[in-house]
A and B are shown apart, each in its own frame.
Chain A
């Protein structure tokens, strides 16, 4: 009897023990670093060198820099950058959805026997390194590149255009190109899960294909649409590299560029950390939404 009890308690502690190293790792290198952002954002500024210093005790936090940054958002240049970021992200994710939904829909519903081929083709861009994909477009968009060649050949442009010189449309195109593959997969998964017989039922009851789509397929794929949009909006909000490669101009600066600039220069770490905290505030809601929907999906998968 005592043997089984011992075995039972041994089993009870086995599983947490398995999780322990990974959890410890995440606490040391994920949770604590998060706290470090706060400690630097709320820290002191060394008056002589103007260098930020972290303050680890929350009771001694100084909201001075935070106030400055907030002020800059409402009255200064930073507000424009925030609005621009929101606009770019909104337009780029909407365009991504317009491109991604038909593709995911086609592969999930109509690819037939060639489904595997199509899946390989939509998975490939997902795993092509992001920087390589940006390099490809920088090559194409250069003054003497293929895009200008093509457009002047077709007579759409009279002379080559400077695509990489600070154009919003180039940056948004870069974002769409960069992130669509990440949207298509969750969309595909959601559309693929829909039971064919529900659509069949709608059609049998006299719905036109379009109405069946509107009233059955679309609502059933709503979860996938929202999750997919969130999963591409999160990195877009912090993107600085797409924008720096597609345009070297301050006219297209985004929040990510501000963070990159301040953190990677030696003088602005506390300001950079503060903007990061504010960015987290903006995207925090999206993150929570995604985690809740993932948790629900996992529960459903388990039962």
Chain B
């Protein structure tokens, strides 16, 4: 008889309350009680500060530390200081959305094509090409920030620091994430389908359009959403490539605001950022779930997201 190591709390027969206490006393550190408690502490530690920060965005008073009642003052109502009426906060919101939308629209096609190319190409240069694609994932962002800043200041001077530079920078580091998302699918699908199509007389473009792309569609939708989320979360690249005040994004505006003049309006702005980020990633999860279903596997997109190994 084997000992069941992987027992979960549910699979243990429900003992009487006393037996439960006794086993706990005998071994309070035994799995999985300690681990369950530890995990919950971690989750609370991670999420409670965020919940409190969101809450203070709805505070009626100026304090970010004492609750004075619910209001939408910091979102709309305050004539000067709310996110909607303070020009610097409102422009930060629109700048972030603009960058995220632009990044998503350019990085996804580039990344999808790169993923297809790298997954199927067996030439001698494909290895270095693969390595080049992976490098942006491991380069500290500050290094990329400095590099792009210097190249726009000294070499590609046609591009002024500001929105264009920021979008170009965001695309550069988002491409590799798109590749990772799509490449996983390509490995799973394998080259057989498009080769069969080509053997039956389809041109490569036809095979791609009629066979491969439809199979990749959920992954492509998911990578659009992930590109959006990555771009809207970014701080360092936006910070190094910002130009005039109107090119501050939500994260860079939060950074300067926290250092100079914090107000609950910053909490409101951060909550809006959080909402967009969560929306994008939920969408990505749903697309990945559809993909799993289509491949005949049960389970959720969450697991797929967790295993992206970025």
**Chain A interface residues (CB < 8 Å from chain B):** 7, 10-12, 14-23, 25-27, 29-34, 36-37, 39-40, 54, 99, 102-103, 105-107, 109-113, 115-116, 118-125, 127-140, 142, 144-146, 177, 180-181, 185-186, 188-189, 192, 196, 199-200, 203-204, 209, 212, 230-231, 234-235, 237-241, 244-245, 248, 256, 259-260, 263-264, 269, 272-273, 276, 279-280, 283, 286-287, 290-291, 294-295, 297, 301-302
Residue of A30, A32, A110, A260 touching B142 (CB-CB under 8 A): A260
Across-interface contacts of A21 in B (CB, < 8 A): 110, 113-114
Q: Which 10 pairs from chain A and chain B are nearest by CB? A: A19-B117, A112-B8, A22-B114, A18-B117, A238-B142, A238-B140, A33-B147, A15-B121, A136-B49, A136-B53
Inter-subunit contact B154/A54 (CB<8 Å): yes
A/B interface sample: 19 pairs, CB < 8 A: A15-B121, A15-B122, A22-B113, A23-B114, A23-B129, A36-B155, A106-B32, A109-B6, A111-B8, A115-B303, A116-B303, A128-B50, A129-B250, A180-B42, A188-B306, A200-B3, A244-B259, A245-B259, A295-B131
Q: Known: A139-B53, A235-B140. Is A36-B147 also a contact (CB below 8 A)?
A: yes
Across-interface contacts of A116 in B (CB, < 8 A): 300, 302-303
Q: A11-B204, A30-B144, A286-B138 are in contact. List 20 more A-B contacts (CB 8 A).
A: A15-B122, A23-B132, A30-B132, A36-B154, A118-B39, A119-B306, A129-B277, A130-B233, A132-B53, A135-B267, A140-B49, A142-B64, A185-B308, A200-B3, A203-B3, A241-B236, A273-B150, A276-B143, A297-B309, A302-B187
Total A-B residue pairs with C-beta atoms closer than 8 Å?
318
B253-279 vs A, CB cutoff 8 Å, 1 = contact: the mask equals: 011001100100011001101100110
For chain B, which range describes its interface: under 10, 10 to 19, 20 to 34, or 35 or more residues?
Answer: 35 or more
Across-interface contacts of B169 in A (CB, < 8 A): 29
Across-interface contacts of A180 in B (CB, < 8 A): 42, 46
Inter-subunit contact B5/A269 (CB<8 Å): no
Inter-subunit contact A33/B114 (CB<8 Å): no
In the bound complex, CA of A115 to CA of B130 (Å): 34
Inter-subunit contact B11/A301 (CB<8 Å): no
Tell whether B281 is near chain A: CB-to-CB under 8 Å.
yes
Tell whether B61 is near chain A: CB-to-CB under 8 Å.
no
Inter-subunit contact B121/A19 (CB<8 Å): yes
Nearest chain B CB to A76's CB is how many angstroms away? Answer: 21
Residue of A18, A112, A294, A301 touching B113 (CB-CB under 8 A): A18
Across-interface contacts of A146 in B (CB, < 8 A): 52, 65
Inter-subunit contact A131/B270 (CB<8 Å): yes
Most B-side CB within 10 Å, residue of A40, A132, A301: A132
Across-interface contacts of B203 in A (CB, < 8 A): 10
Nearest chain B CB to A47's CB is how many angstroms away? Answer: 18
In the bound complex, CA of A30 to CA of B228 (Å): 20
In the bound complex, CA of A47 to CA of B306 (Å): 53
Residue of A17, A121, A132, A235 touching B270 (CB-CB under 8 A): A132
In the bound complex, CA of A112 to CA of B42 (Å): 18
Inter-subunit contact B254/A102 (CB<8 Å): no
Across-interface contacts of A103 in B (CB, < 8 A): 38-39, 42
Closest to B6 in A: A196
Q: Known: A22-B179, A105-B35. Is A54-B150 also a contact (CB below 8 A)?
A: yes
Across-interface contacts of B140 in A (CB, < 8 A): 234-235, 237-238, 279, 283
Tell whether B139 is near chain A: CB-to-CB under 8 Å.
yes
Across-interface contacts of B93 in A (CB, < 8 A): none
Tell whether B84 is near chain A: CB-to-CB under 8 Å.
no
Inter-subunit contact B117/A16 (CB<8 Å): yes
Most A-side CB within 10 Å, residue of B10, B50, B306: B306
Closest to B278 in A: A127
In the bound complex, CA of A260 to CA of B309 (Å): 29
B123-156 vs A, CB cutoff 8 Å, 1 = contact: the mask equals: 1011001111111101111111011111101110
Nearest chain A CB to B217's CB is how many angstroms away? Answer: 17
Across-interface contacts of B309 in A (CB, < 8 A): 185-186, 189, 294, 297
Across-interface contacts of B153 in A (CB, < 8 A): 269
Q: Known: A19-B114, A129-B232, A238-B141. Is A123-B305 also a contact (CB below 8 A)?
A: yes
Across-interface contacts of B216 in A (CB, < 8 A): none
Most B-side CB within 10 Å, residue of A20, A287, A297: A287
Tell whether B89 is near chain A: CB-to-CB under 8 Å.
no
Inter-subunit contact B258/A18 (CB<8 Å): no
In the bound complex, CA of A302 to CA of B117 (Å): 16
